[in-house]
A = this chain, B = another copy of it.
C-alpha cells in the first residue's frame, strides 16, 4: 500500500494503472476511519481493480465556528485499517498541496439550500470543490459515499451529472453501532452521558418509520420525530425535515422517494441521521 501526499505522484500512479486497463475506485474521507468508511472501502474493493482512499480534513467545508481544528485525526490507525482492508493507495495531501491561493470553486444551487446547507452555509461549496478536485486528481471509475450524509450524496450525484464528470457515484447504506447510533467520526466528541443521549436520533427516526407504516401526513411525521428528540434534555434540534430525496426540496405530501433527515446537537456535538422511504410503494 502506497501513502502519498503529492498530487503529481497520485496522477503518475493512476496513469500507469489506466494504461494497463485497470479500473480505479475512490473513497474520499476526512480520515479517523470507522466501520462506515470500511463498508465503503469494502464495496470499492469488490468493484474495482485498484482502491484509492483519500484522507483530507478539507478546511473549505468548515465554517468559522465549526470544528476544523478539533476534528479527530489519526493517520497511523487509518493506515493500518486501510492496509488490512486491501487499499492500494492512500492520498493524504496537506492543505497547502490542495489550495494555493485558490480562486476557482464549484458550487450548487437548489439542493444545498435546505437541511445542512441552512446551518452550514459554505459547507457544500467546500464539499463540491474538494470532491471535484479529488475526481480530477484520481480520475476514478467509481467513487463511494455514505448515505448518512444523504444531502451530500444527492448533491454530488447532481454535480457529477451537471458537470459531466465521467465517474459513477455509489451510495452505501448507513452503518450503525449495536445500539443503533449511526457511525460517525464526530461520535468521538461525545462523553458517556452524551453518547447515551445521542441514541435519541435513531430512536426518533424509528418512531417516524413506524408512523409511516400507518399514516402519511408530513406534519404529523415531523411532529412524532420532533417530540421524541425534545424528550431528551441534552438534545437540541438543528432541523427535522422531510424532503424529496433527489432535489432535497421539502415535500408537503409523501408520494415518491423521500428523505427524512435530522440534525441534532448533543451538547456541543452536531450529529446527523436519516432514512429514505419510497412513498410511491405504499
Contact = CB atoms under 8 A, between A and B. Distances in A.
A27 to B, nearest CB: 18
A2 to B, nearest CB: 19
A104 B107 contact: yes
Nearest to A137: B164
A163 B129 CA distance: 7
A97 to B, nearest CB: 10
Count class of interface residues, chain A: 20 to 34
Interface in A22-59: none
Contacts of A129: 163
Interface in A100-129: 100, 102-111, 128-129
Interface string A140-178: 000000000000000000110111111000000000000
Contacts of A104: 106-109, 128, 158-159, 162-163
Contacts of A7: 164
Contacts of A137: 164, 166
Contacts of A102: 162
A185 interface: no
B103 A158 contact: yes
A269 interface: no
**Copies of this chain held together in the complex:** 2
A123 to B, nearest CB: 15
A184 interface: no
A278 interface: no
A108 B217 CA distance: 43
Contacts of A274: none
A139 B166 contact: yes
A83 interface: no
A136 interface: yes
Interface in A80-108: 100, 102-108
Given A7-B164, A164-B137, A105 B103 contact: no
27 contacts: A7-B164, A11-B166, A19-B21, A102-B162, A103-B108, A103-B111, A103-B158, A103-B159, A103-B162, A104-B107, A104-B108, A104-B128, A104-B158, A104-B162, A104-B163, A105-B106, A105-B107, A105-B108, A105-B109, A106-B132, A107-B107, A132-B163, A133-B164, A136-B163, A136-B164, A136-B166, A137-B164
Interface of A: 7, 11, 19, 21, 100, 102-111, 128-129, 132-133, 136-137, 139, 158-159, 161-166
Given A7-B164, A104-B109, A105-B106, 8 more contacts: A103-B162, A104-B106, A104-B162, A104-B163, A105-B107, A106-B163, A136-B163, A136-B165
